[in-house]
Amino acid sequence: MNIDLCAINRFIHGGVMPGIQPTYGIIETGRNVRAFTKGHQQEFWALLVPILPWIIGLDLVDVLGNMMWPALKGKFVFGSLVAGYFCACFIIGWHRVLLHGPERAKPVDPFHPEKSDLAFIGMGWLLVVAGFALVVFSTVLGAALFSAVSLRPAVGLLTLAAILGVLYCGYRLCFYFPAKAVRSHMSFKESFDRTDGYVWRLLCTPFVGAWRLFLGCFAYSFAVGFIAGFIGHVIGVQKGVPAPMGFQFFVGLLQLPMAFYFIPLFTAFGVGVLSNYYQYSLQNDPQRHEKPRGRWRRVEQGE
């Protein structure tokens, strides 16, 4: 007998489909997020398709830029930086599907964003830039302090420590973003308090739950590398010598499925894990809300 779980959920919630029902275990949450993503493919593609031409076009800008300026050695990434804005719009919309349900979720208009959307995107870029700057500063500082040949490994260790520290802080502050996506207030301090005990789960669950997707991505990347290497060998592409523009464009086209299939699915799964644990924290640990200050604290405590 086939059971329509969506119809049951609609009946229970008065005809309105709910968001994700949060779970706690790593394996359990991986299955939960995977099932939610699979069951809401219509909403997933409805958010992605309108911005997909912009993302693909901006990726092609990078391909063309690196073809025109081979001296950059593949470091022309202006298109990817702009495409990050459209990806952020998709992330906000998917957070809303996860937390509000598909029928209440409002997509982001990339060309007419609201104030909360800009705050989400701006704070995300600020944290990325600050983290990158900290890693670079640590590397430069290590190079200055341990310039002797025998101490060079210490530079790598200092850089690694900076990377791990940035990742840890990023995970501790990440609950700010699902809250901002649904226009709910949560400070970085409250996010830091709430993510205590969740960092390991936030880190491991995407890998555990999306292992099939990782294998598919690896297999496709291997196939693209093999095809590009074989064709490059046939036409005589040499290492250290700029490849013909046509060959570079062909390789760029082969890599497009990464932009419009694998990366969006990885993003949706990671956002799903984050929204799941954010929702779980709100429902099962309400005491971690920031306490009122000053007069309001005295009123709450009956003083």
pLDDT at 74: 67
Residue 186 lies in a domain: no
Cα separation, 81 vs 100, in Å, equals: 29
CB atoms within 10 A of CB 128: 13
Residue 36 lies in a domain: yes
Residue 274 lies in a domain: yes
CB 175 within 8 A of CB 191: yes
The token duo for 264 is 């969006």
Write down the H helix ranges in the chain: 5-12, 26-39, 41-48, 52-68, 78-100, 115-145, 152-173, 176-181, 188-194, 199-209, 211-235, 245-254, 256-257, 263-284, 294-300
Q: Residue-wise pLDDT tens for the chain (303 aa)?
A: 433 434 434 434 444 457 899 999 999 999 999 999 999 999 999 999 999 899 888 888 887 887 777 766 667 788 888 999 999 999 999 999 999 999 888 999 999 999 999 999 999 999 999 999 999 998 888 887 776 656 677 788 888 999 999 999 999 999 999 999 999 989 999 999 999 989 999 999 999 999 999 999 999 999 998 988 888 877 877 676 666 777 777 887 888 888 788 989 999 999 999 999 999 999 887 555 444 333 333 333 333
Residue 296 lies in a domain: no
Residue 160 lies in a domain: no
Structural domain of 274:
5-113+197-282
Q: Which of 259, 297, 281 is nearest to 79 (CA)?
A: 259
pLDDT at 146: 72
Cα separation, 258 vs 4, in Å, equals: 33
Q: How many structural domains does the chain have?
A: 1
Residue 79 lies in a domain: yes
Residue 90 lies in a domain: yes
Residue 292 lies in a domain: no
Q: What is the pTM of this model?
A: 0.82
pLDDT at 17: 56
pLDDT at 79: 85
